[in-house]
Structure 1
């Protein structure tokens, strides 16, 4: 598995079974995403149980992410896919379902959609592959003309190009899904279609009232408002996610690389973990080998210094979920071994450009001590804060993190360079040697290796040990 960048796989019909999940973990997956826009509680419970079983079997903490639908417009249920040729007309009607066949009727169960759209608006779906132009607007239906050859299926998100519909940031469905996430002890909640920092506040306040401030918030950057308000969003969330699919439905495709670069750079400067998602290996939904362009795209994202790469359709509905994970792992391993060294200095300079507190200064000092000595870094962290700070500074040496709290380890599992280790310990004095011993047992640290070991206490008391591992 990769040392620095982490791999997250989305679960769905193609991968939501124990055998496939176990295989993905063996291949290096560190976290799994459950998309609450698809399936239901029975499916999601099965996914959670399978991931936790894999966690127990392999002795590795695995992050679970619950991805909310958010204020998006989605197609209702269609009995059969609706095929549209370029130039063909269709009708979008208010309702939750419609029959397929010869009648080109697309259901949308949100009344506000019909009040909000105008004649001439362009509707974008399926990560930009489907584009429809509104030709007529009526109170409970609109007429559209296909601008591309398209296949319309259930639950696909619809973007109105150049517009953001004024729906509440969280719906009743979202709150029900959050409740599921808390009841099943998910580690992160993905907040979709974030528009401002106040959207993050609404979810944070809900978690606080529920007594679950430990659950992390991933803010998905996919709208024009999110890009505009990125600073305040980044300040309030725990992780940012570059959602390239919806970004590509709200911006020109030619802008996506620049947007990704600027979001990742800002995340590094603000020491905020960052994930890149969507169409990393899109061709592998249908084919067992990625395109050359996809390999270059993935390599570029890793060289930018992202914490994690998230597979979406490749593993949730694709024909080759295991092959997709295998290829992503193969690319990441090669980049880390052969090409990233030249980028790490630039990445680290961005990540370490703003040292604004004593705990961050301590983390930087410990990390650079280990890097200067070419030593492995061992950290015992009860609350995970020291380990998280070290990760955000983009270490170029392996970091092994021990904690007695598996919930902390699960959240750390998708952060750059951290290898979480469960250790039973009552305190720091006991935990540090146990973490080192566990790293030796698992083969991460070998006899003869130089190790910098530390734990973080409340300032000003800190502790650092330097030792060479001997028999």
Structure 2
């Protein structure tokens, strides 16, 4: 079992129930549904497929809803439209379909936020425009770098900041949708600072949703500047390298990525690395050597998950991409020094009872080369704590709650299993070996570590550790 999780984006090439099943069997841990490219109706249909397949396979694959956020996109473009260097184009909120040098934009007040001389980048910077005039609500631009104009592609203005409210009407609707369908994670696009996350947290409180975990997408310079506070108030972050690579220089992305992974890991928060990880596999069945190294380095740096975007959503080889990512993760994890990882983590953590027990569990597992750790949990907290210490073996999180199981689908090394609620420690011990036996082949002399909080009905902190040896 691989410990680093795989997030796969659902799209036109992968939205059927049959494809969802194949993707889970290939190694998908969490499905991402991008609301920038999916209607609520289509998203609900995919969620129904995921849950149906989970029931069929007895799996706990999670659902992540990616919001549109305060973004700007191109409108619908008819046919193939190319713009060349030095072409004059007009950005307008009026419907125009890319004709006669006019480009429709989704945010009608963009003219208020840009200045003459500002850069306007389209489709991850493939097209670059420069503002030369603002007439009424239209923005006149000269083309600096040309290319093919496509529908619904992102627009960035790296020299200015959007004045649009983070929780504008459509963004609120996206979050309400994620809450209503009981998704496990909501990825917030274009987070600027910790206050944006806190506003969403307040919204979830008002919706009485304690389940939905907030993943802050880091894709702007302002988010990097407030990263410590953003990580503190989020359940995790996503290193969204597409838009981030427009806001900051391309050559600085690797070092920024490493820093973000490390900061999340040391604070015990989830980190997803995303964008163009195996992008060549959208059109070919094999990745490039550079892509293999990219995935492997994210694993080595300690990312909880790596993500496929177009590779699984619109690519011709979605299953092959997932299987390839699985093999890269497996090979990389087999060559990691887990004792060294534990030592590095120890000096940065707070010392409460659960943390001390979790550290001891991982230390024992590494010393004994344990087959697995069984973490009994109601809320998932115990499993998450153990995960943050990065043990050498899988963490089997047993919980009576289906919601808890799917909420753990993104956490490094955790294999969630739904069980009946235990009432005594004897029941826990009796069932632990059976559960490990179901997932792995046990041999005489193999050791498993069992931990949790007891009595479970009191939802107490983690307070016991037991080592079992197979006879």
Name the TM tier (shorter chain).
Answer: over 0.9
Kindly report which structure 2 residues correspond to 1:370-381, keeping only aligned pairs within 5 A, or say none. 370-375=365-370, 376-381=372-377
Which residue of 252, 266, 269 maps to 1:255? 252
Match of 1:50 in 2: 49
2:97 to 74, 96, 99: 99
Partner residue in 1 for 2:132: 135
- Give the structure 2 partner of residue 194 of structure 1: 191
Deviates more, 1:125-134 or 1:57-66: 125-134
Q: Deviations over 1:151-191 (max 9, x none)?
A: 22222111102322121112211221222212211001111
Aligned pairs, how many? Answer: 464
Which digits, 9 at most, give the CA deviation of each residue in 1:29-53, with x for residues without a partner?
A: 1001011111212210121011112
1-side partners of 2:245 and 2:433: how far apart? 45
Q: CA deviation at 1:136?
A: 2.1
Determine which of 348, 366, 377 is the counterpart of 1:354: 348
Query: What secondary structure is seen at the aligned counterpart in 1 of 2:421?
Result: coil
Give TM-score, length-normalised by structure 2.
0.94
TM alignment of 1:374-389, pairs within 5 A:
374-375=369-370, 376-389=372-385
Matched, 1:465 2:466: yes
Look up the match of 1:60.
Answer: 59
**What's the Cα RMSD here?**
1.8
> What is the rounded CA distance, in whole Å, between the counterparts of 2:83 and 2:245 in structure 1?
21
SS of equivalent residue, structure 1 residue 98? coil
Shift of 1:460: 7.2
CA distance in 1, matches of 2:401, 2:461: 24
- Which residue of the partner structure matches residue 183 of structure 1? 180
Unpaired runs of 5+ in structure 1? none
- 1:48-447 mapped onto 2 (5 Å cutoff): 48-95=47-94, 97-100=95-98, 103-337=100-334, 339-341=335-337, 344-356=338-350, 357-375=352-370, 376-427=372-423, 429=425, 430-443=427-440, 445-446=442-443
SS at match of 1:466: strand
The answer for unaligned runs of 5 or more in structure 2 is: none
Deviation string, structure 1 residues 365-410 (Cα, Å, up to 9, x no partner): 1111111111121111111111000001112222111111111111
| Inter-partner Cα distance in structure 1 for 2:252 and 2:435 | 46
Deviation at 1:98, TM superposition (A): 2.4
Distance of 1:460 and 1:143 partners within structure 2:
61
Does the 8 Å CA contact 1:379/1:435 hold for their aligned counterparts?
Answer: no
SS in 2 for 1:127: coil
Q: In terms of mean alpha carbon deviation, does 124-133 or 241-250 score higher? A: 124-133
SS of alignment partner, residue 29 of structure 2: strand
TM-score between the two structures when normalised by the length of structure 1:
0.94
SS in 2 for 1:154: coil
Residues 275, 306 of structure 1: 8 Å contact kept: yes
Change (3 A) 1:98 1:439: farther
How many angstroms does 1:305 deviate by? 0.8
Deviation at 1:345, TM superposition (A): 4.6
SS in 1 for 2:124: helix
Structure 1 residue 22 corresponds to structure 2 residue 21: yes
Say if 2:339 and 2:366, in contact at 8 Å, map to a contact too: no
Give 1:321 deviation, angstroms: 1.4
